[in-house]
Amino acid sequence: RSHRMGGRGFLEPSSPLLSRRGGAGGGARESCRFFMTASIEPKELQGGENSVTDASKEELTRTMASYVPNFIKKDLSLDARIPSDPAIASFTSCILFIDVSGFTALNERLARLGRGGPEQVSKHLNAYFGQLIDAVHNHGGDVLKFAGDALICMFGDDQSQESARDLVLRAVQCALVVQTQHKSYDSNQGFTLTLHVGVGVGEMYSLYVGGVDGSWEFLVVGEPFLQLESSVDLSKTGEVVVSGACWELIKDRAAGEHREGDWLITAVIDPIPVVGCQPLSLSVECVEPLRCYIPKGVQVRIDSHQSAWLAELRKVTVLFVKLNSLTYRKDCPFDWQSVHDVLCFMQSVIFRYEGMVRQFLVDDKGTVLIAAFGVPPLSHEDDTVRGLKTAIEIHSALKAQSMDNSIGITTGDVFCGSVGSSTRQEYAMVGDIVNLAARLMVAAGKQGAGLLCDDNTREASLAKLNFETLAAITVKGKSEPIPIFIPREKDDAEIVLEKVLAEASDPASGTEAVKPLPVVGRERELRLLHERLDALTCEQKGSIAIVEGGAGIGKSTLLRYVRQISYALSPGYFRFYVQVIQGAADAMEQDTPFYMWKRLLIQLLYFDEYLTKHDTSALEMQQQLFKQLRSDCDQTFVKYWPLLNSFVPLKLPENSFTRELGSKQRNLHTRSLIKHLLAKRAAKRPLVVLLEDFQFADTASLELAYNVASELGDSIFVCIATRPMSPEPENFLNIRSLPNAHILSLKAMMPKECARIVCQGLGVEAIPAEVLEEINKAEGNPFFCEELVRGLVDSSAVSIEGDKLVVIGDVKSVDIPDTVQGLISSRIDRLPASPQMVLKVASVLGLEFTKNMLIAIYPIEEDKYQLKPHLRLLLNEGFILKKKSLNDDNIKGHYMFKNDIIQKVAYSRMLLLQRRKLHQSVAEFLESEAATEGQCATLAHHWCSVLEDQQAPDQAVVEKAINYVKDTIHQANANFQSCEVWERKLEELSAMKTVEAGSDDEMVELGELNTSSGVRSFDEAFDSVASRSEEQLVVEEVGEAAGEEARCAGSNPLAEVERLSLEMKELEGVLGDSS
């Protein structure tokens, strides 16, 4: 069988699609780039044998093998080699399709729970899938794919010796058992899951396709899937419907009823013996070949012994791509070479934008690819834009090849983790938006739109793409119509011309000088920038300024201020005396030469007072461009003009000079031409060049930046904004070392400055104390501050009333805005798997934690005594700090999160089940160490967190939580501290108790508690008694009088509490006598 992985069926990558991005195997790897800090080892990110250290290789093999079907395992047991070429095999087989009904309704219902919804859905799905998988394996079947809420199972392969009749009987017997023993599942959420089952038989093809970046896909196609299109739809709850071809094979051994060409099976009269799957034990040499079929994010977690902690809650952008032109049809040969070529193309595009191929499959709906952005091993702050750009590029390229396709794109919170059981599982995304993406994919095909996205996706990408709004549609599983949009790419020239025309037509460009907007703080930086601009305009002396700082620290604000200052230096109608041109690099374009300079060059060539006309046509723009080039270019550079075709809409044909240039020569002459244009313009007027997001610059842009800074730095002002880079590229180091370069390292801002920025942004005069407390959690990051407050406004926790910011809700319960979460999540994802796990576990301990406590609760035994290097990395990367004493000395073994936001983001990525487990570990450790002294509040917090969102809580845990909350309230009152939060928590805990409501003992206990909580709670204690006797009503009157007396007394609060406690005991005696 070695032919299946080798020469037979070899595909030449001849498709035009492949020629654009590279073929199978490693050839396309150059277009796929991971962004990592220096401290991250690529081998750990990508998996590989070096990352397997302590874990048993046998256990590693078993775990990885559970992520692939038995078909692949059989292949590897005979030939444990990494695939090098695509392959195909044909055979007769039977497909059992098990569709779970009610899953969509369950998804929508649980979506209302917020981030916890997808986790609940995955819990029910796994519970049901586990039963179904066991049933299939017990009947000798193979679970090939998890198709959303369905299982695709195969009976028989190219090694099978059974007849087609026996394969169908085996599948039908399995289906009847499934419909008899597992026909429904009670979700306890108001919905019951049921099954629709179909069976088809015929010629099948198995394909190993793809291979870009070492990622291979196993695909099965064939006649049975055509039969399933009708049989599954005809199957009702509890029924097994087989195709006509299946019935012809088993009609003498089964009973059935004819149903529109298919057959409803009522019984198997003459069954064959049930034989389960034989366990396949793969050798450790199969680990590396197995990796080819498993997502890299899963590999990393398995290698780090974290397979049990793989599941997370994440914000993800999901793509469903349907290849309408590549569906198997019986009346025409299957074009499996095109399948391979198209998959390779789609893989290369998805990997270039750093997404993940979740699945490539053929089911009852056709050939479908599912991709995701924002999943391990990398997420980005712009994952939604990456997903849309991927969709647009795939759709356009396939359409250009006359390949009909439709794409649906959605964004939202999903469960990311394994679905299935320990014997057969897949990495999947579960959530309402996943179903919606599939619905939009179908709708895009029906409407002829090509691709459709939802409103969440549009909102997150408005700045980078255009959208056409269509009429809202109704889709299955949604009670309300869904707004839909067609995304369209914005051309760079279009974006820049819009900005230039907007600025040119701005009323501020009239006879008065432009007044710069005030910048809060940064006095030293502003002073230096003013000096540099004065030197440029007054002394014709250029320089370089490098503004360096983390995301959101204010780099863009300073660049915007430089632009405004430059306009202010150009009085009256001659606003354009100083010319400012601005370019920006892009994380998605690091393989596009000179991308950072593209927009800048458009501004340079189109920049003229004549653009202030509102009726400028495209032809006039083109004429102006040639006019500008003739003005700015010496005759010797005219032959270089076709090199600008990729920058501006010149549409000049290649000439004899440019046609013969290789890539290196083209880059060299392009740099020469751009430098020449900049020099000519700088000779006419002062020129300011702004370069933003320098950390994402491509190699050609970096080299040009150094050439411009070193050769023209005396005549122009170059201002660069960048995040810290590690390691720093050579050309950037060279720029920093130039004698006229000035480094501006932006630090965190003071709390008062952050408050002023928020006031300025919202147009208010002051910030309430509760909001200031939330702002301080941003640790001086102005962008985080603004986003946090805008999040409070959007969630109606605060409102803007005139020039005041008014608190109207609970500011502490509002989720961190997506913009802030995205930035921090992308940083966390760039850590190796083990430090990520350390960060999550530490987040359960709170803002401050100790190394000893971390070791005590760390859930991965193999790694818990190796935490020191992980903590060191987290310190170096700025996620945590060492806790200091009053003397500013480090306290050994004590750490704290850099800010509250990082801790919350790390915590929010864990499932509720994971959090509960860790909180319980903390509480039990404190109790076992007899460390409860002074830890009542801590223990109360952790035991309460164990009970979070539990529907049937453990009563022993409830009792513990209540006791610790009571102790916390007692201590708070003894120290005259507010305990309103704990009192509310106690009410919630009391509601969890299953003891008889209104019992005297319970009421007395509540009375005791409320006495210690403060005399103002007496009324609430007695009001909670469900029924009272006359004697009890007398007691109530006495209690109210005592409470009023205590409220009026103000001489000695502690003495009053003690006196009222004694009186309460007397009242309890009266209660006892009356009962």
Query: Please, how many CA atoms are within 13 Å of residue 755, restricted to the half-sphere of its CB?
Result: 15
| pLDDT over 80 at 430, yes or no | yes
Nearest to 312 by CA among 203, 417, 238: 417
pLDDT of the residue at 159? 87
Q: What is the pLDDT of residues 592-636, one digit of tens each?
A: 899 999 888 888 886 544 444 445 566 676 677 777 788 888 888
pLDDT of the residue at 1024? 38
| pLDDT over 90 at 885, yes or no | no
CA distance 251 to 263: 10
φ/ψ of 520, rounded to 5, equals -80, 130
Average pLDDT rounded to a whole number, residues 791-808: 89
Cα of 128 vs its chain's centroid, Å: 27
First to last CA, the chain: 85
pLDDT of the residue at 1009? 37
SS3 300: helix
Q: Tokens 């029910």 belong to which residue?
A: 124
Q: What is the pLDDT of residues 85-111, one digit of tens each?
A: 999 999 999 999 999 888 777 777 777
Query: What mean pLDDT, rounded, does the chain reach?
Result: 81
| Residue 675 neighbours by CB under 8 Å, 6+ apart | 704, 707, 708, 711, 712
Check: CB of residue 311 under 8 Å from CB of residue 182.
no
Length of the chain: 1075
Q: Which of 56-70, 218-232, 615-629 has the lowest mean pLDDT?
A: 615-629
Q: Which of 360-374, 815-829, 851-865, 970-984 has the lowest mean pLDDT?
A: 970-984
Q: 929-957 b/e with 16+ CB inside 10 Å = b?
A: eeeeeebbbbbbbbbbbbbeeeeebeeeb
Q: What is the pLDDT of residues 657-672, one digit of tens each?
A: 999 999 899 999 999 9
- pLDDT category at 540 given cuts 50, 70, 90 is confident
pLDDT of the residue at 201? 96
CA distances from 67 to 4, 109, 373, 616, 816 (A): 20, 29, 21, 59, 34
CA distance 895 to 892: 8
Nearest to 570 by CA among 533, 528, 599, 532: 533
Cα of 184 vs its chain's centroid, Å: 33
Instruction: Quote the strand ranges of 746-828, DSSP E.
Output: 798-801, 804-807
Check: CB of residue 171 under 8 Å from CB of residue 155.
yes
Identify any residues that bridge with 201 across adjacent strands, giving them in sequence order.
Answer: 94
Q: Tokens 């000798």 belong to which residue?
A: 140
Q: What is the pLDDT of residues 738-757, one digit of tens each?
A: 999 999 999 999 999 999 99
Q: What is the pLDDT of residues 34-54, one digit of tens each?
A: 222 223 333 333 343 344 444
pLDDT of the residue at 951? 75
Q: Which parts of 540-594 fold into alpha helices (H)?
A: 555-568
Helix (H) or strand (E) holding 820: helix 818-829
- pLDDT category at 277 given cuts 50, 70, 90 is confident
Check: CB of residue 447 under 8 Å from CB of residue 465.
no
Q: Does residue 637 or residue 570 have the better pLDDT?
A: 637
Average pLDDT rounded to a whole number, residues 522-540: 91
pLDDT of the residue at 454? 97
CA distance 60 to 302: 7
pLDDT of the residue at 22? 35
Check: CB of residue 328 under 8 Å from CB of residue 336.
no
Q: Does residue 1021 or residue 60 have the better pLDDT?
A: 60
Q: What is the pLDDT of residues 547-564, one digit of tens each?
A: 999 999 999 999 998 988
Check: CB of residue 300 under 8 Å from CB of residue 408.
no
pLDDT of the residue at 578? 85
Q: Return the top range by mean pLDDT from 359-373, 855-869, 1040-1054.
A: 855-869
Q: Which two tokens stand for residue 422?
A: 């320990």
Exposed / middle / buried, residue 528 (Cβ in 10 Å: 0-12, 13-18, 19+): middle
CA distance 857 to 836: 15
Q: Which two tokens stand for residue 464?
A: 């980078």
CA distance 835 to 879: 10
Nearest to 383 by CA among 413, 340, 424: 413
Average pLDDT rounded to a whole number, residues 835-844: 96
Q: With helix as H, strand as E and coil as C, how does 482-511 read? A: EEEEEEEECCHHHHHHHHHHHHHCCHHHCC
Average pLDDT rounded to a whole number, residues 506-524: 60
- pLDDT category at 25 given cuts 50, 70, 90 is very low
| pLDDT over 70 at 536, yes or no | yes
Q: Which two tokens stand for residue 218?
A: 């196993």
Q: Which of 493-502, 651-660, 709-718, 805-814 has the lowest mean pLDDT?
A: 493-502
Q: What percent of the chain has pLDDT over 70?
A: 80
| pLDDT over 50 at 1006, yes or no | no
| pLDDT over 70 at 365, yes or no | no
pLDDT of the residue at 494? 57
Q: What is the pLDDT of residues 143-196, one digit of tens each?
A: 999 988 899 999 999 888 899 999 999 999 999 999 998 888 876 766 788 899
Average pLDDT rounded to a whole number, residues 505-523: 57
pLDDT of the residue at 579? 87
Average pLDDT rounded to a whole number, residues 100-127: 77
CA distance 362 to 987: 53
CA distance 42 to 196: 45
The β-bridge relationship of strands 848-850 and 890-897 is antiparallel
Q: Which two tokens stand for residue 527?
A: 């002073």
